[in-house]
Amino acid sequence: MEILAFGVQYDEKPLLEAAFAQAVSPLGHELRCLDVNLDADTAALALDHEVVVSPVNAVLDREVLRALAAGGTRLIAQRSTGFNNIDLPAAEQLGMTVARVSAYSPYSVAEHAWALALACDRHIARAARRTRDFDFRISGLMGRDLHGRTAGVIGTGKIGAAFARIAHGFGMRLLGWDINENPECLELGMTYVPAAELLARSDLITLHVPLTPETQHLIDADALRTMKDDAILVNTSRGGLVDTAALVAELRAGRFTGVGLDVYEAEEGLFFLDKSLDFVDDDTLARLVTFPNVLVTGHQAYYTADAVAQIAHTTASNVVDYLAGRRSENVLAPRPSA
């Protein structure tokens, strides 16, 4: 049987192929990688493929799932932890199995969040643009010591805890907000406070919660107004956590030392693609990237060799479990009670 993987990046491909060669090929199944994303226009490519491996930015709504099911697909193995792009009730109704990667290196995302935070604080992007033009002035590039300041961590799971450990190493005070308190974060000296208090007191705010109906626009206009004028906001989780239009309005008012975004709420159809020669009609994004204190990366926080190798290994294991009729904690659909 041939297994079809969509949206495979150039430097991801050898890691994915190696994982499948080790775990799946001995069972008589081979992997074929495509660099195109999985959506309504490309779902037909999966015809007669029982197993499809999807990327984090795949569009797996009811329409696409119906097309895949009609073509014979029975397993969707997603190469990510997040699954807000998948219509799980539709998949269940169609009799499809959906699996994800429950966890991978938390350091990949936490370290990228810190890269964005430090780049914003020390104006690295602006400095790099200047020096490329042999402009070595430092006026306008003054940063701040983060030592002794306050980091607010919204979501203190594995990634949030990894971020907090680095903040602790910088000598920062730690505030946290989550449904449950993480003992590891408490040992670092973190104080858990209501979200509004965290936003008001923190010099650096980082988001590490999943996107759910309850967290959609968690950082809305009111939340942004609660933050310090010179705060740094970093989001490496999901774009929908931040009301981008409200963020642009605050930036236009001259607020915030910096904003580092690896995700964007309307990134579908943009991120992971080369749009450099296209007309991009997203006015909000176009305005956002013009601010000198805003740094946007294209959903690459997870993208380290270590994390991608773990993702590939778990994805291959999910396929092996499906072929063997086993269910693991990575299976999202069908639900155990179904």
Selecting among 238, 250, 265, 313, the annotated active-site residue is 238
Contacts 24+ apart (CB under 8 A), 127-133: none
Selecting among 100, 112, 299, 313, the annotated active-site residue is 299
Residue whose pair of structure tokens reads 């490519």 in the numeric block: 45
How many residues are given for the chain? 338
CA–CA–CA angle 304, 14, 267 (5° rounding): 50
Q: How far is Cα 146 from Cα 219, in angstroms, rounded to an integer?
A: 23
Catalytic site includes residue 267: yes
**Burial profile 206-232: b = 16 or more Cβ within 10 angstroms, e = fewer:** bbbbebeeebebbbeeebbebbbeebb
C-alpha pair distances (Å), 210 with each of 165, 178, 217: 20, 11, 12
Residue whose pair of structure tokens reads 């915030």 in the numeric block: 256
Selecting among 100, 255, 267, 313, the annotated active-site residue is 267
Catalytic site includes residue 299: yes
C-alpha pair distances (Å), 318 with each of 8, 55, 104, 174, 307: 17, 14, 14, 37, 16
- Give me 11's structure tokens: 């430097």
Catalytic site includes residue 238: yes
Q: Which residues are catalytic?
A: 238, 267, 299
